[in-house]
Structure 1
Amino acid sequence: MPSTISASRRSGRCTALVCWLLTASSASLAQVPPPADAAVEELRRQERQRLLREQFERGADVRVPVPEVPATSRLPSDEQPCFRIDALALQGAEPFPWLAAAAAGPDGDDSPVGRCLGTRGINAVLARLQQALVARGWITSLVLAAPQDLATGELRLNVVPGRIAAIRSAAGATSLGLRSAVPAAPGDLLNLRDIEQGLENYKRLPTVEADIRIEPAQGEGAEPGDSDLVIDVRRAPRALGPLRLSMGLDDSGTRATGRLQANATLAWDGPLGLNDLAYLNLQHGMFNPQGRGTGGATVHYSVPFGDWLLGATASRSRYHQRVAGLQQDYVYAGASRNFQVQVTRLLHRGQRHKTSLTLGAFRRSNSSFIDDTEIEVQRRVVGGWSLELAHRAFIALEDGNTATLDASLGWRRGTGAFGAQPAPEQAFGEGTARFALATAEASLQWPLQWGTQRLAYTGQARAQWNRTPLAAPERFGIGSRYTVRGFDGESSLLADRGWLLRNELAWTLGTSGTALYAGLDFGRVGGPSARQLPGRSLAGAVLGLRGQHGAFSWDVFAGTPLRKPQAMHSSSPSLGFSLQLSF
């Protein structure tokens, strides 16, 4: 157990290192890299966690195609014979209070009431109502014309709501997550959106193959409109069964703690048979000079239940560096522990969009050490809650492709919960453990076709606003492969608020599975803490090649700064790579 250093009792070794940090000679600086920046290391940890979530927690998008609704013509005005319609009555439409309005057409100006309609006109009204049901996902609900005397002036139509009679497994299929996947139960109205959500709950696990069929209800007590949902779930034939293994190597580290970083992730699909996901990620510096190193581990578990998703993530990371003092060498180290639990609720789902809300609680602690002796005044412990509203839209393009737009708004608040401690900067008004900040993100993936060539544009924007002074771990940073590309990441601009914009155009090279891409990124930081920075804006460009062949994937790139403060140093060009092997 390392001892701590209080403000009134410091070891001579610590004092010597502080003196070295302030007055080291140019000869010493030429021999060793500068001490690791704790804020930069924390920023890198957060970005690696983001990539890990995108790789293993991003589920599949399922959209079951429905027949395109043709343009509805206006009701005939000269039909013979015809009957004057003075009222429209929908019997059994209580579950669909909005349905009657659909009889007036898409613009609401072609109502059958007050018109003289014959067979064609009545069929057109039936088609409008049926199309309105299908468009909202009620694909087994029907609208039928009831026996009636139209001479009374009332058009009476029967609505037969389609309901779920049973949810059962297909013959020979596993019952994996049968009760928790579909957000509906026997007796509920059958909606296509619930089936899509159920399929997404299954297909969030790559080793699972799933299909949901709608079949006529079987057994006694079946009524008109009743259907069975038959779920066919099977494990994909794989050598590792429900396990997935991924190993990677990249040069995303810093010169201070080691550039080469290796990682390995073991994921288990469905450990409890609930469509749940668990994974363990290990990260460690590799092939770096002696005296420098990083390491970390992340454990994640999440389980869906209909329209809900519950997840928990715990991680720890560390870094160390041997630095030369005036009389001896010292080991400067940092450690971080994080825990987060989140619950997500699907708020709305349509044919081309979905919206969700996520509520979370978090705790993070950061510590710094010199030769296993903790620097107590640099200890940080924060805890609080977060809220995020996310929306995804699918945009149909004229060439038949689909673009995807993601947008989110978030709020993070430190509350002093979970053993939080006042921030070291709080006494100076430069940070607080009870911070408040807002975030916004948007990304766009737009496939393009140029003759026979396949292109794709990817855009990403992020922004952060602060309502309180922020300590370094909560600040917005730019100047790395994860933010504004073109920089080697040895130093970054961090401030209370900021924004960045990443633009990328990729060209797929035939059927090789390889794409050539070019990127142009911009970013700016601001707020009171930015006054101490040598500049506030960055711009950079990158050119790279990424691809996949079987289980092996790669990404190699070269970038260069286009705009930066003169005092901010970065290699030009800055080269980088990432290699991944997945089983």
Structure 2
Amino acid sequence: MYFVVKRFRFFVEPLPAVVLAGIFSILFASLSFAQRLEQLDAQRQQQASAHQARIDREQQTPDQQSGLFNELAATDQLGGRRSYVHGEKPCFEIRNVQLDGQHAYRFASTLASITGGRDRGRGLASPIGLCLGAQSIQTLAVRLQDLLIEQGYVTTRVLVAPQDISNGNLTLTVVPGTISALRRTDTSDIRAHFWNAIPISDGDFLNLRDLEQGLENLRRLPSVQADIDIGPGQLPGQSELLINWNQSKPLRVFASVDDAGNKATGKYQAALTVAADHIFTLNDIFYVSDSRTLGNTKNQRRRAGSSGFHYSIPWGYWQLAFNTNRFRYHQLIAASIRPYVYSGESRSTDLTLSRVVWRDNRRKTQMYLKGWERRSYNYIDGTELELQRRRTAGWELGLNHREYLSRATLDVAVAYRRGTGARGAMAAPEEQTGEGTSRFRLVTGSLSLAVPFRIGQQAFRYYGTLRAQWNSTRLVALDQFAIGGRYTVRGFDGEQVLMGERGWAWRNELAMPLQVGVLVGQELYLGLDVGRVGGPASRYLAGNSLAGAVLGIRGQLGKYVNYELFAGKPLHKPETFKTARIASGFSMSIAY
């Protein structure tokens, strides 16, 4: 063959066919390799979502909020009356209200909310400058005690001692309710230990918020049944806490099978989790898990799996949790000359310290600080692709808030995530082209609303979740926001996803519990989801939004088996976005 440049002719010897075939094989393999990297990044995100769902399931703790001690927490002692008795005789103009009693200073801010007028909108007007008689003064004392009970001080009493108030100075006496002892009942398990779970000790003020926190720490173990009773102490104002704690079995086994994988590494997956509760008698949770693709798919051409480890321990209002997860994959890729094996693994580890910073009978707020590390390695025929090696680390600061709105429950979460140079972090390969960085900065947020309601005799439940991500730096694929699949926008099979540096996904679900015969315990649901991605990485996408619908049923079979079946359909997608016309799926689990 020959080619011409200007007026000169160059002669080139024909290349052997096998060399040409090898060149084209390498070119096509490179394209295939790039596509598989994108697929694996998407699958890693799905694996991370599945791993997080497993953590959430294991750490699910029933909130001990309003209603825990209803018989003690009734705060409307005024019978709906929120005003003083006018025209009362005799009366005295009140110029100052002060508290007396041991540790009375701790309740000064509560009194100030009344005397400063901040309680007027929902309670009692400020007494300063008013002419009050005996009944009105008693009304003031009862209102102050109501506020203390709302704050959890259910055994603290406010009294009006005999005094001369002709000078305008009124003194209210506070008798704080304290704890004389914490002890377990005679029927409790001998392994019951609660010194690190209950954030109060002998001599402390009795506060319901502390008991609720302690009960959450005790009941966080699925194998434990725990209750706290308040009994009278030896002295007036003192109470004993009687803790009843029993554990059915320290070990739990959870096995599941689903079709949440993809064609690249195997569609069907099985997982096994073994958990140990209270293993060090510290109300701690420990579990190990392992998942892998099922079946010998084409002589092991495709397979993937993951393993995880979790340990967490409470300490009053604090909690320390450690997680590590490993994802591995193996693919046999057909090529023109010979097949090659593309494999790899990624590891993620995090340590989280969290604290409940506020709780009352309607809300709870928790803050946390997390340190994390992530590593990944890719190989072809056992030889590492060093240019694709990744090692990143950083920290995350977040806030979780739960609010009870009548029968509805609102959950809000926001977090700031930052990549740093800690733990020997390496620069991302994308930094050479400006398409990503290991020193990234991003903000994530979520909003969830659960509303049970009835239409006639039929119960329904609405559950909606809005997740979003904002970035201030370019992000590598693994940190980007992805939509399309059972964990994000349903109605899509998850073989392809849309990804961008920022985005949002809104999931809506209307569920109807079945209440007839053998169908009791099952639930039909209809879902409608929509999502959108943005940022520089989304410029090359055929579109940036998805919408889909799903219809499914979930429930429990017997005592140990849970299942879910669903079928979804895309409602909106880019024209070239490939997905199944009907995206169906299942999951089944056995817990023992």
- TM-score, normalised via structure 1 length: 0.90
Match in the other structure for 1:9 = none
Match in the other structure for 2:526 = 518
RMSD between superposed Cα atoms in Å: 2.2
Match in the other structure for 1:202 = 218
Match in the other structure for 1:283 = 291
2:378 aligns with one of 344, 354, 368? 368
In 2, the alpha carbon distance for the partners of 1:509 and 1:442 equals: 27
Q: Contact 2:288 / 2:308 at 8 angstroms: preserved in 1?
A: yes
In 1, the alpha carbon distance for the partners of 2:224 and 2:127 equals: 49
Q: 1:268 offset after TM fit, Å?
A: 0.7
Match in the other structure for 2:137 = 122
Structure 1 position 325 matched with structure 2 position 348: no
- Bigger Cα Rg: 2
Structure 1 position 411 matched with structure 2 position 416: yes
Match in the other structure for 2:10 = none
Q: Contact 2:419 / 2:438 at 8 angstroms: preserved in 1?
A: yes
In 1, the alpha carbon distance for the partners of 2:29 and 2:530 equals: 32
2:308 aligns with one of 298, 302, 312? 298
Structure 1 position 342 matched with structure 2 position 352: yes
* Cα distance per residue 1:256-314 (max 9 Å; x no partner): 11100000111111100000000111101012522111111100000000000001011
Match in the other structure for 1:446 = 451
1:96 aligns with one of 107, 126, 134? 107
Matched residue SS, 1:326: coil
Structure 1 position 235 matched with structure 2 position 247: yes
The 3 A distance-change label for structure 1 pair 324 and 126 is same
Counterpart amino acid of 1:192?
L
Counterpart amino acid of 1:509?
L
* Cα distance per residue 1:498-549 (max 9 Å; x no partner): 1110001001111611111111111111111111212111111111111112
* Cα distance per residue 1:476-509 (max 9 Å; x no partner): 1001110011000001111111111000100111
Matched residue SS, 2:210: helix
In 2, the alpha carbon distance for the partners of 1:388 and 1:302 equals: 18
2:179 aligns with one of 142, 146, 164? 164
Q: 1:120 offset after TM fit, Å?
A: 2.3
Q: Contact 1:333 / 1:370 at 8 angstroms: preserved in 2?
A: yes
Match in the other structure for 2:395 = 385
Match in the other structure for 2:54 = 52
Q: 1:109 offset after TM fit, Å?
A: 6.6
- TM-score, normalised via structure 2 length: 0.89
Match in the other structure for 2:206 = 190
Q: Contact 1:85 / 1:113 at 8 angstroms: preserved in 2?
A: yes
Q: 1:167 offset after TM fit, Å?
A: 1.9
Match in the other structure for 2:146 = 131
Q: 1:431 offset after TM fit, Å?
A: 1.1
Match in the other structure for 1:271 = 279
Q: Contact 1:36 / 1:257 at 8 angstroms: preserved in 2?
A: no
Match in the other structure for 2:572 = 563
In 1, the alpha carbon distance for the partners of 2:21 and 2:153 equals: 73
Match in the other structure for 2:16 = none
Matched residue SS, 2:108: coil
Matched residue SS, 2:80: coil
Match in the other structure for 1:433 = 438
Aligned residues: 552
Matched residue SS, 1:53: helix
Q: Contact 2:276 / 2:285 at 8 angstroms: preserved in 1?
A: yes
The 3 A distance-change label for structure 1 pair 335 and 244 is same
In 2, the alpha carbon distance for the partners of 1:106 and 1:185 equals: 35
Q: Greater CA deviation, 540-549 or 227-236?
A: 227-236
Q: Contact 1:485 / 1:541 at 8 angstroms: preserved in 2?
A: yes
* Cα distance per residue 1:58-111 (max 9 Å; x no partner): 222112232152533311112234444443332122111223235455437723
Q: Contact 1:259 / 1:288 at 8 angstroms: preserved in 2?
A: no
1:535 aligns with one of 534, 539, 543? 543
Q: Contact 1:260 / 1:288 at 8 angstroms: preserved in 2?
A: no
Counterpart amino acid of 2:365?
T
In 2, the alpha carbon distance for the partners of 1:14 and 1:157 equals: 93
In 1, the alpha carbon distance for the partners of 2:217 and 2:23 equals: 56
Q: Contact 1:547 / 1:554 at 8 angstroms: preserved in 2?
A: yes
Q: 1:15 offset after TM fit, Å?
A: 7.7
Matched residue SS, 1:181: coil
Match in the other structure for 2:17 = none
1:308 aligns with one of 318, 321, 325? 318
1:246 aligns with one of 248, 251, 254? 254
Matched residue SS, 2:105: coil
The 3 A distance-change label for structure 1 pair 457 and 564 is same
The answer for unaligned runs of 5 or more in structure 2 is 1-19
Structure 1 position 547 matched with structure 2 position 549: no
Matched residue SS, 2:225: strand
Matched residue SS, 1:441: strand
